[in-house]
Amino acid sequence: MLQLAHGDAEVVIDPADGGRLNSLVVAGHELLGGVGPVVTDHGSFLMAPWAGRIRDGLLRAGGAEHRLPTDRTHPHAGHGLVLDRAWQVLDRSGTSARLACDLDGRWPWRGRVTAEVRLEDDALVQWAEVAALDEPFPATLGWHPWFRRHLSSGGPLALRLEAAAMLRRDAAGIPDGQRVPVRPGPWDDCFVGVRWPVVLRWPGALELAIEAGTDAVVVYDEREAALCVEPQTGPPDGPNTAPRLVSPGEPLQATMRWAWQVPAGQ
């Protein structure tokens, strides 16, 4: 385990468990939680070389079809290939860590995912990169944090999200590319034209503003204990429907920043 600390914040990272953030404590409040022990159901993890789901586990690229491992609970390939791998620690200090994970044989191309986690004054900054080592390939990346609905004090979590549209989901639960007006939740949906920040507020305890340089964010709030706010460089099934080509020397990169405010006296 890697432990980082700065000011009133502490982070615990588990390199052996997908480089996952197992804990983020701010002013005595644990912000990260989950809904179960399954690898996709707790903490905060990086999704790469794709984010969300690939329809039926089938990736089409360069005139060929590639089969990817599908999820145990549905027929799609879910959340990338690095959340269940051990990561290598490249560098660390008391406030930051840099890790890397090479893509394994489940991915048709050689590639490497690198991530940085850094605590600053009243903020946590995360950066990630997907790099091609030999041949170009399509990719997306994103983060999948589970935020607790209830902290040790204060009111239940409220979410503020502003976006131009959401993507319609088909019968398989995958966006079909059609933009539709934002409807009320609950959601398991991808929003586009996001107007950052997305704000999480636990009344009387803490407010967290999420900034990311991505057009898309997936929100999943259908569980009682925790909800997910997932900045992504493309929508689910993006390597098929909106491919971003990663080439040697031209990686895909993204940055996310969580900035918090604690009410006076807390």
Report the CATH number that the domain containing residue 86 is assigned in CATH: 2.70.98.10
Give pLDDT, residue 265.
58
d(CA 219, CA 225): 15
Give pLDDT, residue 266.
56
Task: Judge contact between 260 and 208, C-beta under 8 A.
Answer: yes
Give the number of other Cβ atoms within 10 Å of residue 20's Cβ. Answer: 23
**38: confidence class by pLDDT, cuts 50, 70, 90:** confident
Query: Is residue 264 included in any domain, yes or no?
Result: no
d(CA 174, CA 55): 7
**Using alpha carbons only, how large is the chain's radius of gyration in Å?**
18
Q: Name beta bridge partners: 204.
A: none
Query: Is residue 7 included in any domain, yes or no?
Result: yes
Whose structure tokens read 């983020």? 24
Query: Is residue 42 included in any domain, yes or no?
Result: yes
CB burial of residue 77 (10 Å; 0-12, 13-18, 19+): buried
Torsion of Cα atoms, 83 then 246 then 91 then 34, to 10°: -20
Q: Is the pLDDT of residue 73 over 80?
A: no
All residues at 6 or more sequence positions from 73 whose CB lies less than 8 Å from its CB, including other chains = none
Query: Is residue 178 included in any domain, yes or no?
Result: no
**60: confidence class by pLDDT, cuts 50, 70, 90:** very high
Question: Using one digit for the tens of pLDDT, what is the confidence trace for 80-109?
Answer: 999 999 999 999 999 999 999 999 999 999
Percent of the chain whose pLDDT exceeds 90: 89
Q: Which domain holds residue 90?
A: 2-157+226-255
Q: Is the pLDDT of residue 119 over 70?
A: yes
Q: How many domains does the chain have?
A: 1
Query: Is residue 37 included in any domain, yes or no?
Result: yes
* Mean of pLDDT values over 173-196: 95
* Mean of pLDDT values over 201-219: 96
Query: Is residue 176 included in any domain, yes or no?
Result: no
Give pLDDT, residue 228.
98
d(CA 234, CA 226): 23
Query: Is residue 41 included in any domain, yes or no?
Result: yes
Give pLDDT, residue 205.
96
Give pLDDT, residue 213.
84
**37: confidence class by pLDDT, cuts 50, 70, 90:** confident
Query: Is residue 110 included in any domain, yes or no?
Result: yes
* Mean of pLDDT values over 118-146: 97
Task: Judge contact between 135 and 109, C-beta under 8 A.
Answer: yes
